[in-house]
Amino acid sequence: MELADVTDPACCAPLSGPALSEVEAAELAKVFKALSDPVRLRLLNLIASVDGGEACVCDLTGSFELTAPTISHHLKVLRQAGLIEGERRGTWVYYRVVPERLTRLSGLFALPAPVPA
């Protein structure tokens, strides 16, 4: 499942902006679907909050009562959504958030500036 590049302005104009097309809404829904699982939200939070900006998968699995393959699946979904990226070093993969993707998503909720009366 390949998800849209949420940094592309054509993908994700603010929700208060022009009406979304069906295609734009469907692509954006895929990104939100990736974030709709509590395990994935916790994984994203753990990765984003780690000192040094990256977390080893070996450090992530201990925070959950899930099997390693299940954690790997959730990390794959976050990678496909473009929210994290990983780099293999030896037998471990190290993950880091993609800041511009998170920033772009936060821009979706920007409200238009109030017009002075």
Per-residue pLDDT tens digits for 29-51: 888 999 999 999 999 999 999 99
Give the other-Cβ count within 10 Å of 44's Cβ. 21
pTM value is 0.76
Tokens of 40: 């994935």
Is residue 19 very low, low, confident or very high in pLDDT (cuts 50, 70, 90)? confident
Tokens of 85: 């990226």
Q: What share of the chain in percent tops pLDDT 90? A: 47
Residue of 87, 74, 63 lying closest to 34 (CA atoms):
74
State how far the Cα of 85 lies from the Cα of 100, in Å rounded to an integer.
12
